Amino acid sequence: MTYQHTRHWIVDKSVGNLENSPQIHEAAGFIKQNKVVAFPTETVYGLGGNAESDEAIDLIFQAKGRPSDNPLIVHIAEKEQLYRYVRSVSSQADKLIEAFWPGPLTIVLEHNGELSDKVTAGLPTVAVRMPDHPVASAIIKASGLPVAAPSANRSGRPSPTTAAHVTDDLHGRIAGVVDGGPTGVGVESTVVDCTNDEIVILRPGGITKEDLEKVAGPVTTDPALVEEDQAPVSPGMKYTHYAPHAPLILVDGDRRFFAQKAEEARREGKKVGVLITDEYEGMPADKEIRLGPSGDLPAVARRLYDSLRAFNQNEVDVIYAQVFPETELGGAIMNRLRKAAGGKIISQKE
Ligand code: TXA
Ligand code: MG
């Protein structure tokens, strides 16, 4: 479906009683009519549709150009909604819910068949989360529905952290976008499989492994996240993702090594972009985008997707990006950068 106009509602997320605002009322009304609407969450903007409607879910997949074997996360605003769609909630899952909802944690459980099969891509499980954002919860509450919402980007592009990113990718392809300002966390939610006693991280995100272990004891990480040749449990992990407009290569090395690689590419006549922290400022590059101080991982996460999008079409021929230690939010940041690079990395140690 194409639209002459995609509605653009501006909402001040700090005002109370958002559910009754005319903008939210109208956006939620579209969702009730099985149309799709983008809105902010605390992680990234989502493209929301009625999770009980095949028609709405088809529109989400079409607008994004997303492969239909990649299931969607169902967003809820009250814990009671969870019990309407899953078979049971294990005590481990319940601990995580108590500790991290609302927040950037998505829990995978067995579903009971009440949602559209298209949301779950025919799997026996469903991924559910309760976002911690006043605009997202107001829309979910005002619609009275479970809201399926993938990130509101064209499939393969970096996820959107502002309404402008959504418009760049989806204008004319969706019914509307609720502009509630830039998102806070900047990378998507952590996805955990809670269908067995052992908790498995399927996608690293806003809640870190360290955060989870404080609450639930040792958790494991899906081997597909580290070993390329393993079949991923989370279907979304197997596709190209977060791709900027030029090939991106990770550079694991000190300042001098990084500068040397950039210089070499320039000597080959390439226009070079660099994605670096403040400590690597002043690289020999045609475009330099800074992510802030390397010690401030939350700020790096918040800026990551906007920075990947900042390299415009035909502006540079290659992007060299700095690497991060994989503790705390560094795990999610490196997971996204590795995908943006399609696994390409140059290492000083070799
Ligand atoms: O922060 C977020 O999670 C954002 C905001 C909008 O809430 N949403 C988001 O959705 O990132 P999406 O569709 O871009 O990513 C959903 C991820 C994919 O990797 C998908 O494969 C996985 O969750 N997933 C969904 N259902 C699953 C299931 N039943 N089992 C395993 N993985 C599942
Ligand atoms: Mg996504």
- Residue 346: enclosing H or E segment and its boundaries? strand 345-347
pLDDT of residue 268: 98
pLDDT tens for 277-299 read: 999 999 999 999 999 999 999 99
pLDDT tens for 26-54 read: 999 999 999 999 999 999 999 999 999 99
Residues belonging to the chain: 350
Q: Report CA dihedral (100, 105, 110, 116) to the nearest 10 degrees.
A: 120
The atom number, within ligand 1, closest to the CA of 43 reads 1
Q: Is the CB of 234 under 6 A from ligand 1?
A: yes
Question: d(Cα 149, Cα 45) in Å, to the nearest integer?
Answer: 9
The atom number, within ligand 1, closest to the CA of 131 reads 7
**What percentage of the chain exceeds 70 in pLDDT?**
94
Q: Is the CB of 126 under 6 A from ligand 1?
A: yes
**What percentage of the chain exceeds 90 in pLDDT?**
87
Which among 311, 38, 48, 302 has a CA at the least distance from the CA of 167?
Answer: 38
Q: Which amino acid is at 251?
A: V
> Where does the pLDDT of residue 229 fall: very low under 50, low under 70, confident under 90, or very high at 90 and above?
very low
Testing ligand 1's pocket by substitution, the residue of 37, 39, 129, 151 carrying the most ligand atoms inside 8 A of its CB is: 151
pLDDT of residue 237: 55
Q: Which ligand is nearest to the CA of 150?
A: 1
Q: Is the pLDDT of residue 238 over 60?
A: no
39 touches 177 (CB < 8 A) = yes
Question: d(Cα 33, Cα 50) in Å, to the nearest integer?
Answer: 8
Nearest residue (CA) to ligand 1, atom 21: 236
Question: d(Cα 281, Cα 112) in Å, to the nearest integer?
Answer: 53
> Where does the pLDDT of residue 234 fall: very low under 50, low under 70, confident under 90, or very high at 90 and above?
low
CA of 47 to the centre of ligand 1 (A): 12
pLDDT tens for 242-273 read: 889 999 999 999 999 999 999 999 999 999 99
Mean predicted confidence (pLDDT) in 191-195: 97
pLDDT tens for 166-189 read: 999 999 999 999 999 999 999 999
- Residue 56: enclosing H or E segment and its boundaries? helix 54-64
> Where does the pLDDT of residue 224 fall: very low under 50, low under 70, confident under 90, or very high at 90 and above?
confident
Token output for 70? 């990649």
Q: Is the CB of 46 under 6 A from ligand 1?
A: yes
Q: Which residues contact 122 (CB under 8 A, 6 or more apart)?
A: none
Which among 152, 85, 92 has a CA at the least distance from the CA of 124?
Answer: 85
Give the count of alpha carbons within 13 A of 335, CB side only: 30
pLDDT tens for 85-138 read: 999 999 999 999 999 999 999 999 999 999 999 999 999 999 999 999 999 999
Q: Is the CB of 51 under 6 A from ligand 1?
A: no
pLDDT of residue 243: 87
Q: Is the pLDDT of residue 228 over 60?
A: no
Q: What's the mean per-residue pLDDT of the chain?
A: 94
Q: Is the pLDDT of residue 227 over 80?
A: no
Q: Is the pLDDT of residue 143 over 50?
A: yes
CA of 203 to the centre of ligand 2 (A): 11
Q: Is the pLDDT of residue 4 over 70?
A: no
pLDDT of residue 239: 57
CA of 8 to the centre of ligand 1 (A): 25
